Amino acid sequence: MAKQDRAIRTHRTILLAAAKVFEERGYQAATISEILNCAGVTKGALYFHFRSKEELALGVLDAQDNHFHIPRRPCRTQELVDIVMLHAHRLQTDPMVRASVRLAMDQMATTLDRTGPFQRWSQLIQEILENAQTQGELLPHIHPPTTSDVIVGSFAGIQSMSQAFTDYNDLTTRATHLLRHLLPTITQPPIITNLHLTPTRGAHVHQETQQPQNQPTTTTTS
């Protein structure tokens, strides 16, 4: 294994351990020693990649929205549906994404800037909305930054409620309910009637992104 591959693998191992410890203990209570124990790497290896608990947390926070690719669609509103439903699917299936979202919602982490994921998600959704607007898909009154904040904020609450009630089991269903309540005030009616919007949509998009021809060409650490 090349030196660079090893470094990438160690980086990933440490982040997974940090994610696990933050999820179990919360940001405030978690310690670097616990993360070291859980990762099974040397102190030197850990500090080579991350200089502090905060850097570890920011690395975990990044995991939910970095390298987030969805296939390009002729209808941009479908991309909006796909990215929301894919995120719901990943929350159900990927422990790293789950840990990242929990950390972003950790109110006790007062010394940690948790606005990053909210901002990056909002930026991502805003771009999709702007493209949809250019293509004439949106209703005339829509202001992409405002609508994007509404989508990101409301999804954050829906996932929190799903976690409290069913440990995410009903999340994809709740996500379709949310989109069915929001999209008619955002998009032109003929667009809505042509959308693929079912609870299994996220799993379908995930499978699509796993096909070799749809892989991003950039090297990623995830």
The contacts of residue 220 (CB under 8 Å, 6+ apart) are 66, 67
**Residue number with CB closer to its own copies (93 or 115):** 115
**Residue number with CB closer to its own copies (41 or 152):** 152
**Residue number with CB closer to its own copies (16 or 139):** 139
Specify whether the CB–CB gap between 41 and 14 falls below 8 A.
Answer: yes
Q: Using CB under 8 A, list all residues that contact its own copies.
A: 25-26, 28-29, 102, 105-108, 114-115, 118, 146-147, 149-150, 152-165, 174, 177-178, 180-182, 184-186
Task: Locate all alpha helices (DSSP H) within 30-170, ordered by sequence.
Answer: 32-39, 43-49, 53-62, 76-93, 95-104, 115-134, 144-166
**Residue number with CB closer to its own copies (114 or 204):** 114
Length of the chain in terms of residues written:
222
In the complex, the smallest distance separating the C-beta of residue 104 from its own copies, rounded to whole angstroms, is 8
In the complex, the smallest distance separating the C-beta of residue 44 from its own copies, rounded to whole angstroms, is 31
Of 60, 51, 151, 66, nearest to 102 by C-alpha is: 60
In the complex, the smallest distance separating the C-beta of residue 149 from its own copies, rounded to whole angstroms, is 7
